Structure 1
């Protein structure tokens, strides 16, 4: 579990609540169902309209990364690559066949299988880099879904404010209904800006950061496997990959 994400979300919500309370506000005043439906539903619908089904559902599936991000140990990865290089040098590439079956990461498993299958060297790096580029682009597009929500939400909040004011103006002779319309107007604006800056945009940036971390790890795997394919010395491979330690 990512404790930093939990702490950040908690601090953000508490800061808004405490600041509002110190100014004499009541928490119940921030809950307005019509405003929530307008802002959240409108934002969700707009994003669904612009996204493909595959991209939208994938973006939803990546939401868990905010609190349970996948972990990649650069140091352990380098050690494993050195072991693979030593084994390949002593026993040949076929000795890595069992290793490939034990690997959980699909990218690493694919690279080892290509190595075992004896793919031509000039095609080996191309295959790994193509797979990496597609994976990175697919996940970054999912991050863009949340960024789009962060863009639509404030605007739809303004839409909710205008709708609330229209409702209020139609009830000028009834103070109770007038107050409800004005409340919806202001709360809709708060929802629009708050959802965007406390949830949607931070989620988008968090996913991008995780994708960057994944990409760096897989670039290290790619470089290591290509070095093994070229028959480089395990010690030389370790020295080459040591540069990736700076990314930890």
Structure 2
């Protein structure tokens, strides 16, 4: 096969095929006396495997997997794959935790933002007591971008409004679940940006769809990778 034969199947350029070989994502091709590359079905299978790895694990990880295979380090390739699956599981657990938090806090959220209700505020000590954490913990959450309390212009004291209290309760729930502060900050920002439960619910559904799509991509990639390894080993035997 020529580079154009491999490229045509995937709608990519022949230069991309050459670059993938240069970067070790494909096994080295043999050359004709005049210097033209000769690709085989093994190279075609390697290209299918690499391209299937991208939506499953990302371009960088996909390249690392193929590089590991081509230096005959199967364990390293499987370790990268395992890390990808672990990350997907963590993302699913985070999504489940956010859904649980939304269900738990929706009633209070809507009550505190209802037109007939004057949202109560809390001092840092009052909120810390409510959550059974220390004021230092709330200050750490603020440093991480999780909380953005207002400040009294005269005294500089923090004042936690209804939205701040909601964000703190989300953070407290996720922290108990073992999530890191930077991860919690991302989740709380999604809640803050959504602005209402309907928008947040739609955002969570979209997140769920992305995780499902990635999981299916992993299944497809495992099939392509297994086929490539079988073909490669059979050719080498």
Q: TM-score, length-normalised on structure 1?
A: 0.36
Structure of higher RCO (CA pairs closer than 8 Å, 6+ residues apart): 1
Q: TM-score, length-normalised on structure 2?
A: 0.37
Give 1 or 2: higher helix fraction. Answer: 1
